[in-house]
Amino acid sequence: MIPQPPRPTRLLRPVVAAVLVVLAGVGIVTAATRLGGAVGERLGDRRGSPTATVPAGLDVEVVIPRGAGASQIARILAEAGVVESAVEFELAVRTAGAGTALQAGRYRLVTGMPASDVVDLLRRGPQVVTYDITVREGLRLTEILDVLAEVSGIERREFEEALTSGSVRTGVVEMSDNPDLVDWEGLLFPDTYRFSENATAVDILTRLARTMEQRLDEIDWTDFEAAGFTRYEGIIIASLIESEVRVADERPLVSSVIRNRLDEGMPLQIDATVLYALGTREVAGFDRDVDSPYNTYRVTGLPPTPIAAPGRASLEAAAAPADTDFFYYVLSSPDGRHTFSRTLEEHRAAVEKARQEGVLP
């Protein structure tokens, strides 16, 4: 009997089985690859990520926006290199039960931190970073703005715009909605202030302006106002005292000279006002003939604004001058003391003595 050739189906079974095994293997590998990629991405696979080249131990500043959830915060931290991966941080959040306790704000962190430590920091909230600004007595407004800009890191232009735009207000004197810079002369109280790093130019200037209002309220202006003066005029007089006096106990005496001259209608003839009009502090540039409302050699009465920022002692001296009949004073000692005189003859003698002793040129 002639053997029959095998049926095709019987020959294909082993082949089909082998192919199915291969295809199954390929499917498993493909699925595993996809799963591995998904897991790697979910676990913050560092290949090609922004944090891949960020070394540990670097100081970084991270801002967590308001309303950010744990996932968004995790991405921010991972991209900054603060934590190893976003998933690691989210896991630490879940473990700590801190999902709703993470606080927005500006943080100074270190790259490569344990996720649990970062969670603890974000639960406590951002540390408020502060800095101090010292504004010295006797500074002019332009000089104060220079100090504020230098220490705060805020552009000087922003301080100027805050003052001239009406964003900063004062209750000391009525101002227009768009005042000139000079209108703010003397209205920012000199002191040492502490601000957070988030303080704006408006915040800083408002604090200085309100402090001046508070200091004025702490002084008894009863007699001063009864004499027909306003508190703003008190600041003007105080700024003259601040600019002229170097020895503390002379403030009430200089104040008395100013008041006596005003009462008699005499020009104040204060050198500091002339230097202010000239925009300088250099005595060598002194010119008593300069045409300016601040030139108290040519104009009777007070200058139109303060010429500097007076401190509390000068404000108190303005409010309560010494009771004297002095009308003149002249620098007579290298330590800054003055000789006070009642008459022009006495004054001229004091000036000549100061020149002979080399105090005056």
Q: What is the pLDDT of residues 317-334, one digit of tens each?
A: 999 999 999 999 999 999
The answer for residues whose C-beta is within 8 angstroms of residue 265's C-beta and 6 or more apart is 300
Residue whose pair of structure tokens reads 């003066």 in the numeric block? 229
Among 3-17, 179-193, 256-270, 310-324, the range scoring the smallest mean pLDDT is 3-17
Q: Is 174 exposed, middle or buried (0-12, 13-18, 19+ CB in 10 A)?
A: exposed
pLDDT given at position 53: 57
Using alpha carbons, list the distances in angstroms from residue 351 to 159, 258, 266, 347, 355: 43, 19, 19, 6, 6
Q: Is 111 exposed, middle or buried (0-12, 13-18, 19+ CB in 10 A)?
A: middle
pLDDT given at position 33: 38
Using alpha carbons, list the distances in angstroms from residue 162 to 170, 202, 292: 13, 6, 27
Q: Is 144 exposed, middle or buried (0-12, 13-18, 19+ CB in 10 A)?
A: buried
Q: What value does the mean pLDDT take over residues 120-128?
A: 91
In 3-state terms, the chain is what percent helix, strand and coil (to 5)? 50, 10, 45
pLDDT at 252 over 60: yes
pLDDT given at position 3: 41
Closest CA to 240 of 201, 284, 276: 276
Instruction: For residue 348, name the pLDDT band (cuts at 50, 70, 90).
Output: very high
Instruction: For residue 129, name the pLDDT band (cuts at 50, 70, 90).
Output: confident
Which of helix, strand or coil describes residue 264?
helix
pLDDT at 281 over 50: yes
Q: What value does the mean pLDDT take over residues 103-109?
A: 91
CA distance 73 to 67: 10
Instruction: For residue 21, name the pLDDT band (cuts at 50, 70, 90).
Output: very low
The answer for residues whose C-beta is within 8 angstroms of residue 359's C-beta and 6 or more apart is 331, 332, 333, 334
pTM for the model stands at 0.73
Q: What is the mean pLDDT of the chain?
A: 88
pLDDT given at position 150: 97
CA distance 14 to 22: 12
pLDDT given at position 160: 98
pLDDT given at position 268: 98
pLDDT given at position 358: 95
C-alpha triplet 113, 116, 122: angle, nearest 5°: 85
Q: Tell me which amino acid residue 185 is.
A: E
pLDDT given at position 51: 44
pLDDT given at position 276: 97
Among 51-65, 191-205, 289-303, 346-360, the range scoring the smallest mean pLDDT is 51-65
pLDDT at 242 over 50: yes
Q: What value does the mean pLDDT take over residues 291-317?
A: 98
- DSSP assignment of 119-143: HHHHHH-----EEEEE--TT--HHH
What percent of the chain has a predicted confidence (pLDDT) above 70? 85
pLDDT at 2 over 50: no
pLDDT given at position 284: 87
Using alpha carbons, list the distances in angstroms from residue 360 to 83, 91, 351: 69, 78, 8
pLDDT at 127 over 70: yes
Decide if 215 contacts 315 (C-beta within 8 A): yes
